Amino acid sequence: MAKYPVLFAGQRFTASLAGSMEADFYLKTTATARASTTTATDDPDLQVPVVVGEVSLIEFYVKYASSTSATALLKTQWGFPAGTTGNRQVGGAGSGATDGSADNMASHWGVHGSGTAEVYGARGTSGQQLWLYEWAVVTVGATAGNVTFQWAQNVSNAASTSVVNGSFARRTRFA
């Protein structure tokens, strides 16, 4: 597979060119809380811009706190620009898991389409956090835009579910 960017013999190596070879990071600096909603929408910070024809590894490392309800949990999916393809790999606490100490919590791993809802477990109190990891190699079609991490509660609950600061996205471009 081609490496991004393409380097040519005799090409001047500049700071800008060197910078284009590095992965891009998008850091969440403020928690986002959602309550009483099951409609997955874009996280305001976990959005990765992509361009037409790009092939990239997109990763979301997400820390979250769910309500104390065993049913609210966290539901995720991704948003892609029209024509973008790629299946996401997911891993984190299983949707049946609710344990105040998080010891012996069931885990869950799989491969899913971008718009397929994935449900993750909760801890016993809303102040305790869990993490999840989702990634995909995406190929952008004829429409540029953002690959977005979308989320909501799995079951509507007045106690909020939050994606917290310190979560981040990373894009490593191949072509």
Q: What is the pLDDT of residue 127?
A: 67
Q: What is the pLDDT of residue 102?
A: 47
Q: What is the pLDDT of residue 2?
A: 43
Query: Which one, of 166, 174, 148, 160, lies nearest residue 61 by Cα?
Result: 166
Domain ranges of the chain: 28-173
Non-local CB neighbours of 137 within 8 Å, separated by 6+ positions = 55, 56, 57, 58, 86, 174
**Taking all residues of the chain, what is their mean pLDDT, rounded to a whole number?**
86
Q: What is the pLDDT of residue 125?
A: 63
CATH 1.10.20 applies to domain 28-173: no
pLDDT exceeds 70 at position 62: yes
Q: What is the mean pLDDT of residues 143-152?
A: 97
What pairing do the DSSP bridges indicate for beta strands 98-99 and 122-123?
parallel
Confidence tier at 109 by pLDDT (50, 70, 90): confident
Handedness of CA 141, 146, 152, 158 (dihedral sign): negative
As given in the structure block, the two tokens for residue 51 are 């361009």
pLDDT exceeds 60 at position 91: yes
Q: What is the pLDDT of residue 16?
A: 76
User: In angstroms, what CA-CA distances link 105 with 1, 11, 108, 121?
Assistant: 39, 53, 10, 9
Q: What is the pLDDT of residue 14?
A: 83
Non-local CB neighbours of 57 within 8 Å, separated by 6+ positions = 135, 136, 137, 170, 171, 172, 174
Name the β-bridge partners of 88.
112
Q: Find out whether 168 and 84 touch, Cβ atoms under 8 Å.
A: no
Non-local CB neighbours of 48 within 8 Å, separated by 6+ positions = 24, 26, 56, 58, 146, 147, 148, 169, 171
Q: What is the pLDDT of residue 68?
A: 59
**pLDDT (tens digit per residue) in 117-133:** 998 887 766 567 889 99
Name the β-bridge partners of 92.
108, 132
Question: For residues 175 and 159, what is the distance between their CA atoms, to the nearest angstrom?
Answer: 43
Q: What is the pLDDT of residue 95?
A: 67
pLDDT exceeds 90 at position 139: yes
